[in-house]
Amino acid sequence: MKFFRQISFILLFLISVQSDLYPVPDSYVYEKAIKSIGLLTDKNGSVASAFFINNNIIVTNWHVSESLHLSSAKVTMKSGSVFKVKRIILEDKLSDLSVLEVSGSNENYLTFADNNTISKGDNVYSIGNPTNSSYEVSKFKMTKGKIKFIREEDWFYDDGSDHLAYTIQHTATIKPGNSGGPLLDENGNVVGVNTFFYSYTRNYAVHIDELMSLLEKEHITYSSLDSDGSVDTRYAKKVSEKIEKDRWDYNNLGLIILLIVVFYAGTMIIIAIGISTFVSFSRRSNNNSSDRWSQY
């Protein structure tokens, strides 16, 4: 009898450990968020995660976009919808964050949590596309955990890049492929961007404060919860307006360069004609002088 009791305790312990590492997904959070989260890939075999913050803007990690083959990069949604990556709007190496524009429009996007309510001990969820040691992808998987610490952290990767940011250490297991995916609270709102890990229980997300700071600098629209729980759309100057301005600047850059070249070439031609005229005039003057001297 004692033997069976010991076996029961061991089984209960193993079940509790497994539930911490691979918790049962919360259907409410998953269903609310999954339409805004995608699988980011390219022809070179890159596998990562990304999420929409407005209709055509996604967020991921710098270490993802830095090596991304842009012309073949795409975001595949759980529904099967595919959005091609058009360009990188901004990259911040220090905080390991990146913001990209995609073709088309997704009507679903995530809201940021009220950053004043994010606390140690909160339940959090990671959703992304983790890979195993054989590089097999588990698409759109969710794990559950708790926030352990919120603090500034520095880290580095094998390529030698160093990073520093305000981070959330949590236990919602992430693996390679989760990079760039959201860390969510119990209401399905974003509290951070999953970025790196050391073990099953030492996982790190860059805090949304870092992301909001970058978005503010670029005037990129996103939605965030206010302290009263209402959703506030921040930075009303839409990114599409800025993108159109950037496109105008880019399209006219060639014309500006052409005008500069024409102006420069024209100036050089005028100078050359002037020099040629001056030399010719000087020669005629010298010849006339020689003729005058020869008369004496």
> For residue range 176-217, what is the model confidence (pLDDT) as tens digits?
999 999 999 999 999 999 999 998 889 999 999 999 999 999
Kindly state the helix (H) or strand (E) to which residue 92 belongs, with its residue range: strand 82-92
Q: Which residues are catalytic?
A: 63, 96, 179
Work out the percent of the chain whose per-residue pLDDT is above 70. Answer: 77
> For residue range 129-159, what is the model confidence (pLDDT) as tens digits?
999 989 899 999 999 999 999 999 999 998 8
- Report the pLDDT value the prediction gives residue 246, as an integer from 0 to 100: 46
Distance of CA 34 to the CA centre of its chain: 18
**Tokens, residue 170:** 């949590």
List the domain boundaries for the chain.
Answer: 23-234, 240-289
**Tokens, residue 46:** 């890159």
Question: Under CATH, which architecture does the 23-234 domain have?
Answer: Beta Barrel (2.40)
Buried b (16+ CB within 10 A) or exposed e, 3-15: eeeeeeeeeeeee
> For residue range 159-184, what is the model confidence (pLDDT) as tens digits?
888 999 999 999 999 999 999 999 99
Lowest mean pLDDT among 54-68, 235-249, 252-266: 235-249
φ, ψ dihedrals at 282, nearest 5°: -65, -40
DSSP single-letter state for residue 39: E
